[in-house]
Amino acid sequence: MKNEKKHNQELFVAEAVIGVAATAMLLIAVTVVAVLMETQVTAAAWLVAMLIGFFTMICLGLTKMEQVVGYYVCENCHHKQVPSYNAVLWSLHLGRTRRMKCPKCHKKTWQKKVL
């Protein structure tokens, strides 16, 4: 139990670090693209396409990490669940809290992430 909790906390931190690093790289790359747009439009367009693909893959991987680490608790009936990847991917969220349908009470509530 202690090992699992420690592992989940490490994944939680890794998710945050990867997310911040990917966002920083994206901002730097957008600056480079803005400079290239003045002279090399084709190169800039290819770079933008690669950046969008790269950033999308990172975001999908981070969503998978968030789905498997810990569980969510229903605000209404306090049921604990590990939702499907699609439920996590397509739900509205504010930080680690997501608006999802509870499998027990079948109500859409804001569910908090618990390690």
pLDDT values of the chain reduced to their tens digit, one per residue, 115 residues: 678 778 778 887 888 888 889 888 888 888 888 787 777 878 778 888 888 898 899 989 988 988 888 889 999 999 999 999 999 999 999 888 999 999 999 999 999 988 7
What are 110's two structure tokens? 């804001």
Q: Within this chain, do residues 50 and 86 fall inside the same structural domain, yes or no?
A: no
Number of domains in the chain: 2
Together in a domain, 65 and 16: yes
22 burial (CB, 10 Å; 0-12 / 13-18 / 19+) is middle
Indicate if 64 and 103 belong to the same structural domain: no
The two structure tokens encoding residue 81: 């669940």
- Cα-only R_g, the chain: 18
Report how far residue 2's alpha carbon sits from residue 32's, in angstroms, rounded to the nearest whole number: 45
Q: Are residues 50 and 97 in the same domain?
A: no
Distance CA 4, CA 93 (A): 25
Q: Are residues 111 and 86 in the same domain?
A: yes
**Residues 51 and 6 reside in one and the same domain:** yes
Query: For position 80, what pLDDT does the model report?
Result: 94
Across 24-47, b (16+ Cβ under 10 Å) vs e yields eeeeebeeebeebeeeeeeebeeb
Q: Find the domain containing 47 and state its range.
A: 1-69
pLDDT, position 85? 94
Indicate if 24 and 64 belong to the same structural domain: yes
Q: Which helix (H) or strand (E) holds 63?
A: helix 41-68
- The letter for the amino acid at 38 is E
Residue-level pLDDT at 100: 94
Using the 3D structure, point to which of 69, 85, 101 is the last residue of a domain.
69
Does 62 lie in the same domain as 78?
A: no
Judgement on whether residues 40 and 22 belong to the same structural domain of the protein: yes
